[in-house]
Structure 1
Amino acid sequence: MLPLSKHNMKIGFYFECNMKSGGVYQYAVNMLAAFKENKKHDYIIFTLSPDFPFEDFKDSNWKIVPIGFKRIKNSEEGKSVNEEKSVAPTFRRKINLLIINLLRALRLYRVEIFLARLNSKKRALNFEGHGIDLMVYHGPSEMSYLSNIPSLVVVHELQHRFNRQFPEVWSLGQWEKREYLYKNVAKKATIVIVEIDQNKREFCEIYGRDENTVEVIRCAPPIYLTKNVSEEKKKEVALKHSLPPGFLFYPAQFWPHKNHRNLIEAVKILRDKGEIFHLVLPGSKQELWGEYEKVLQKIKDLKIENQIHLIGYADNDEMSALFALCSAMIIPSFMGRIQTPTIEAWFMDKPVLQSNVPGILDEVFDAALLFDPSNPEDIAEKIHSFSKDENLQKQLVLNGKKVLERWSFSNLSNKLNACIDRFDKKSAR
């Protein structure tokens, strides 16, 4: 157990995402940055991720507990680096993946859920013996209800309820797993956090959660983004990926719901009309659903390889430069009323073109040019009209700055820490 301190509480934080998790990773890092501003508590971070930013959390009231890897000294640089504890965990992961694929092929989804629950229950044992008053989870986690420690759980979305046509939320038992997870989170979590008001209403209505125990705390732009990108850095990134100036930018993993193919179709429609637009698509492949290969084939079939730039995963150092180089952010996703790239674009003073999905106007107001994501012709028309209207481009940037005030880091930090402090006072009664 950690030694007692003069701080009010011991806050545990379960960190399981990596940089390729995209917006989820940035949300988790922002939460931790917010906690750094609240000095009156001790923090114990349990991390499965070698991508955890260890160097940023060295204060005396922070302790990091790696799970599944260890920290070693780099003899050449004198810095701490991460490595697997042994070859065995990697081998076990491969065996586990084979078992999962077999269970899915046999449609034994309940067995998979049962085995995953056993693994989560075992992992939750890591939290014991530290005197933790509250465990924080940056996303829905089985451990939040398998552990007896009071929990704060972030629920990012419930899109499996509204977009069942996509395999990543429906097939291979994904729907059943999500339902089981959310029902138990709703039943047992001490505090639930959502990002927008409509998500709160839906979560409470669907799962019977008391609205007084659900907090709306909006996310914020990633703390690594900077507007001060040197010309040298911009040239370096442009040269590395052979990028032309003024491209359209869509950073997203290759899930089917991200809708890359309709966007690519829109680029082809415009080319047939004599308008050439370049599209830059960073993102991880997500091989499970095979969307990357379908996107690649679509590009080849349409013969627009020279206009579509698949640059793979872009790290934090590159992202600011990519924003600086682009003319606009375009987001054709079928899911999500607010997207992390939308907030990033507002922060980086870039105009946004985005899918017109239910509830979107309550979040973006007039800070995005909306289109029908199911209609490549409409996407193409909006790109065309946007490119020809400089006043519209400038107005979208100005509107984005105004809306961004609702999504600031200070807002996230103040509300999150107030939520923790209210729990502290309540538990002290």
Structure 2
Amino acid sequence: MKIAVWILADYKHQIGGGFALYDKFIQQIDNYDFSPEIEVCFIGQNSASNYKFKKRYTQLKFFGSLSNSLFSPLQKLFARFSHRIGLLNRFQKSILNSENIDLIFYPVQGFRKIGNFPFVVSNWDTGHKASYAFPELAMNYSFNYRDKWYSKDIFKALLVFAESVAGREELIYYTHLNPDRVKILPLFPGGVVDLQVDKIIQEEKLSHLKLSAGKYFFYPAQFWAHKNHYNLLVAFKQVVKEYPEFQLVLTGSDKGNKKYIVESVENLGLTDNVLFTGFIDNETMLALYSNAAAMVMPSFLGPTNMPLLEARLLHCPVLCSHLPGHKEIMQDGAFYFDPANAVEMANQMIKVLNDHERLGLLEKARTSINNSKFSTEYALAKLNEHFIHLQAIRKAWGKSDKIF
């Protein structure tokens, strides 16, 4: 069976954790030896020049060899709207069939580009129903887009890959998908954990940011409302009363809520203690993880979040909201709190500054790593297993255009 993994040409580093997960996954799939009966390739609508694939990449070109020169703007325009235009959709399906592709794997949730063609898709959350009605989940077009996907489009997938047991249970609960069609493809850390950054370089990175090792808390998150920066600031104000030399480092790009958070920092009198770095490179990210007093993840939205895995592997203590998915990942290797309770959050932040508590937590985190299924290696093995399982289902019929 031949499976094409869809490449998103416009998925950018600034997207944050979603890109880090996607980017590492694509590279790992390219290097993985799948079972002999499974052939994996890549497909997309643009050049994907940022990757040097070992496996075959096929670009769905609407203008043949002219797509990369004179007709490049039209190629991008057609690619953007191809799923809405029947003629373009049929044209792309004809290319898929000529390549003998049986199935498309979309590794990003809520996304399907070619209609009436067999596919499987990843799923990270059903936050518009499982969490609170934050602006990015419930306002403007967001809720309707998500609701259409989860009430209709997702049912067209042969299988859906959830990132955890908690994520699988959440998805089934809110969509009533057939449980046999929801498989676990576990979350794993991004590429930052694979870097080797000399201690001297790490010190230079901290010095550039005017930070001292062990004297700051770290929160890597874009500025969405659901990321809960505000309650973290309220908690941190209590920490600063006891530890005035400590800082809180906030990384990530603005998603509409940063101005409010900056104003909140000023109103809480924390201007000298909170550092906004903006988007940072992976070397700086590693330095911040490796030298922080702790990584704090107060997000309201789960079921899981990738920074927990990254912090754990980089020997950074983890404090996080008590979401079921967080507990599934970290087990006893984190200090948990109610994300709506700033006092509880502050208490955990102060607790981790005690050397005995900190060392005990790190030891438990090391134990949880040894027992963890949230690794790239395990995820790829499960993906291979799911692809093999799909053969008996997908081979029940021939090329899609003969049926639909």
* TM-score normalized by the length of structure 2: 0.83
Which residue, 304, 307, 311 being the options, matches 1:341?
307
Contact 1:140 1:182 in 2 (8 A): no
Rounded to whole Å, the distance in 2 between the matches of 1:196 and 1:180 is 23
Rounded to whole Å, the distance in 1 between the matches of 2:257 and 2:242 is 27
2:188 maps to 220
* Secondary structure at the counterpart of residue 160 of structure 2: strand
How does 1:6-405 map onto structure 2 within 5 Å?
Answer: 8-15=1-8, 16-32=10-26, 33-38=28-33, 40=36, 41-46=39-44, 53-55=50-52, 57=53, 59=54, 61-63=55-57, 65=59, 118=84, 126=92, 128-130=94-96, 131-143=100-112, 146-226=114-194, 228-246=196-214, 247-286=216-255, 290-357=256-323, 360-388=326-354, 390-404=355-369, 405=372
Contact 2:337 2:348 in 1 (8 A): yes
Rounded to whole Å, the distance in 2 between the matches of 1:116 and 1:141 is 17
* Secondary structure at the counterpart of residue 95 of structure 2: coil
Contact 1:35 1:413 in 2 (8 A): no
Residue 180 of structure 1: CA displacement?
Answer: 0.4
CA root-mean-square deviation: 3.3
Question: For the structure 1 residues 117 and 46, does the alpha-carbon distance in structure 2 shift closer, same or farther, using more than 3 Å as the test?
Answer: closer
Contact 1:221 1:408 in 2 (8 A): yes
Q: Taking CA–CA contacts closer than 8 Å with sequence separation of 6 or more, which of the two structures ends up with the larger relative contact order?
A: 2
Rounded to whole Å, the distance in 1 between the matches of 2:120 and 2:127 is 21
2:402 maps to none
Aligned residues: 381
* Paired residue type of 1:20: Q
Residue 328 of structure 1: CA displacement?
Answer: 1.4
Residue 204 of structure 1: CA displacement?
Answer: 2.3
Rounded to whole Å, the distance in 2 between the matches of 1:270 and 1:417 is 47
* Secondary structure at the counterpart of residue 407 of structure 1: coil
More deviation, 177-186/330-339: 177-186
Residue 49 of structure 1: CA displacement?
Answer: 9.0
* Secondary structure at the counterpart of residue 223 of structure 2: coil
Q: Deviations over 1:103-158 (max 9, x none)?
A: xxxxxxxxxxxx997379957954541332111111234526x5222111011101
Rounded to whole Å, the distance in 2 between the matches of 1:132 and 1:386 is 52
* Secondary structure at the counterpart of residue 143 of structure 1: coil
* Paired residue type of 2:42: I
Contact 1:23 1:340 in 2 (8 A): yes
Question: For the structure 1 residues 333 and 89, does the alpha-carbon distance in structure 2 shift closer, same or farther, using more than 3 Å as the test?
Answer: farther
Question: For the structure 1 residues 294 and 227, does the alpha-carbon distance in structure 2 shift closer, same or farther, using more than 3 Å as the test?
Answer: same
* Secondary structure at the counterpart of residue 276 of structure 2: strand
Question: For the structure 1 residues 42 and 232, does the alpha-carbon distance in structure 2 shift closer, same or farther, using more than 3 Å as the test?
Answer: same
Rounded to whole Å, the distance in 2 between the matches of 1:119 and 1:250 is 43
* Secondary structure at the counterpart of residue 193 of structure 2: coil
* TM-score normalized by the length of structure 1: 0.79
Rounded to whole Å, the distance in 1 between the matches of 2:195 and 2:206 is 17
